[in-house]
Structure 1
Amino acid sequence: MVSNVDRLPESPARKPDFEDAFTAPRLREDRWVDHYLPHWTSPERSQARYDIDDAGLRLRIDADQPDWREEDAPLRVSNLQTGSFSGPVGSRRGTHRHRSDGLVVRTETPERLLWAPTAGRVDMTVSASVDEGCMLAAWLVGTEHLSENDSGEVCIFEIDADAVGERMSHARCGVKAHSDARLTTDMTEVALPLDASKPHTWTAIWGPSGTIIGCEGVVVKRMPQSPGYPLFLLIDLFEIGPRSGTEASYPKTAYIHRVRGWDAVSVSDRQ
């Protein structure tokens, strides 16, 4: 972060439109889908592994967890997302067509817009994984239920386990165009003067005037562009590459402590 600190605006004073501190004994079905892009794969492969304790929701990669798709192996993921959409089985319609090699719907999923703002703000407090091969990430991705062109992404953060240090951590953030020709991919690696394995808060503010991404109250990236259509929030823990370590190395974990979101943040909310 730079010496001339660019501070984020305070969170809106009004009640969040979306909020979860994971204090209930079970995951709230009116808030989350506990599968990772389930339409591109099968339910047993997309199902998240997690538990809830006093610290919040702990995402897990278990030793027996299958790869998300056989074609993507080795890759395992536990993910929460704020909705789902797909076309019929065999079609190419579905949220987050992030690969160019022919994703096809294998499991038709209902259209569920649990939280899908076109503009707004989200604050989330997380603790990243330090387990070998893991990455904790949070994205706002186009739902694509209105148009397959609405495929852009606000990458709030991607934190690799090997980029987490006691005094300094690194993360990637920015915008990814995917197949939205209205956007330009603009990703940056940022240095964070903190231990990302401890609770810390990320913020994304997006709308017609652009996108702001911040961490612990400080702006880390500003961009003049923003997707202008409904977006789902995804928060996920990946294990990328072959299984590493012994069975005792599992589960590999990361925490989501709290999420708050506001739809269509107004000018007065940004002050």
Structure 2
Amino acid sequence: MAEETFREAFNGADLDTSRWLPHYLPQWSSRAESAATYELVDSDLRLSIPLDQGLWCADTHAKPLRVSGVQSGVFSGPAGSTVGQQPFAESQVVREEQPAWWGWTPEYGRIEVLARMELSQTSMASVWMVGLEDSPERCGEICLFEVFGNTISPDGSTADVGSGLHPFRDPSLVEEFSADTQHIDVREPHSYAVEWRPDGVDFLLDDRVVRSTQQAPRYPMQMMIAVFDFPTGEAPTHVPVLAVDDVRGDPVSHAPGRIE
């Protein structure tokens, strides 16, 4: 279990690149083509997708996708190999080698983010933990939240908030994920957290446990923070934004909360 508190308040003039890589899975594209659009304002990391931002992996991703993301680690094999984190297709080939770099890679503990988002009908925002994949089976995911803009009610009072586990190629895990309607306005800051132990994970929204599992990844993981847009062919008219103003990692030191 993590023994020291991790705190990121995004107070600097620019992103701390000893902790964060301002690219989204660059091994399948390149650092030049996967660079995030972001700014640090009022102690917020604000990720956005401007109207003129291009597609990510335009020639290999099956559906058009635009993304701005940061991650706290990266790793791949050499160009031409199939070794890399979170491949999106069978036999995905590395385009640009990413030497192993680990900024923040906790193993167990309470991990919490304070976030808000401004999404369109075609956009999505998410924060998740993913295995380093320094060994292929160490690839499971703990999703703190995933919100699609088309699930937000017209008055903004509710949204479907996804959370849970994805096993991918980890044979020790099974799929345990769903998106449930929550009575929150995601345009306002909310706390999304997990309490991750070797025997399970509790998922919390504003300090209330909304899901618990009896399984968990048992290896270090890195954090992924990203906002996505899924173009429909029409010219975009909305700039999606994900703003995070606090990331915290602590040892789990208290009993799970109560699911309500």
Is residue 82–residue 94 contact of structure 2 (8 Å, CA) maintained in 1? yes
Structure 1 runs, 4 residues or longer, greater than 4 Å off: 243-246
| Match of residue 39, structure 2, among 51, 54, 75 | 51
Q: 1:250 Cα deviation (Å)?
A: 4.5
Gaps of 5+ in 1: 1-11
Q: Separation in 1 of the partners of 2:94 and 2:119? A: 33
| Match of residue 91, structure 2, among 94, 99, 102 | 102
Q: Separation in 1 of the partners of 2:103 and 2:178? A: 30
Match of 1:64 in 2: 52
Q: Does 1:170 align with 2:160?
A: yes
Structure with greater proportional helix content: 1
User: What TM-score do the two structures reach when normalised by structure 1?
Assistant: 0.87
Q: Give the CA RMSD over aligned residues.
A: 1.8
Which string of whole-angstrom CA distances, capped at 9 and with x for unpartnered residues, describes residues 14-50 of structure 1?
A: 962x221111110111110110011111223211001
Which string of whole-angstrom CA distances, capped at 9 and with x for unpartnered residues, describes residues 47-73 of structure 1?
A: 100111115111110122121102224
Q: Separation in 2 of the partners of 1:164 and 1:125? A: 19
Q: Separation in 1 of the partners of 2:140 and 2:161? A: 20
Q: Separation in 2 of the partners of 1:25 and 1:244? A: 36
Report the 3-state secondary structure (helix = DSSP H, G, I; strand = E; otherwise coil) of the residue aligned with 1:229.
Answer: coil
Match of 1:111 in 2: 100
Q: 1:243 Cα deviation (Å)?
A: 5.7
Report the 3-state secondary structure (helix = DSSP H, G, I; strand = E; otherwise coil) of the residue aligned with 1:39.
Answer: helix
The change in CA–CA distance for 1:244 and 1:60 in structure 2 (over 3 A counts) is farther
Gaps of 5+ in 2: 256-260
Q: Separation in 2 of the partners of 1:66 and 1:213? A: 34
Q: Does 1:131 align with 2:120?
A: yes
| Match of residue 80, structure 1, among 62, 70, 73 | 70
Match of 1:4 in 2: none
Q: Does 1:93 align with 2:83?
A: yes
Match of 1:151 in 2: 139
| Match of residue 193, structure 1, among 183, 193, 200 | 183
Q: Separation in 2 of the partners of 1:100 and 1:27? A: 31
Give the number of aligned pairs.
250
Q: Does 1:239 align with 2:229?
A: yes
- Matched residues, percent identical? 31
Q: Separation in 1 of the partners of 2:99 and 2:124? A: 28
Q: Separation in 2 of the partners of 1:58 and 1:212? A: 27
| Match of residue 121, structure 1, among 110, 129, 153 | 110
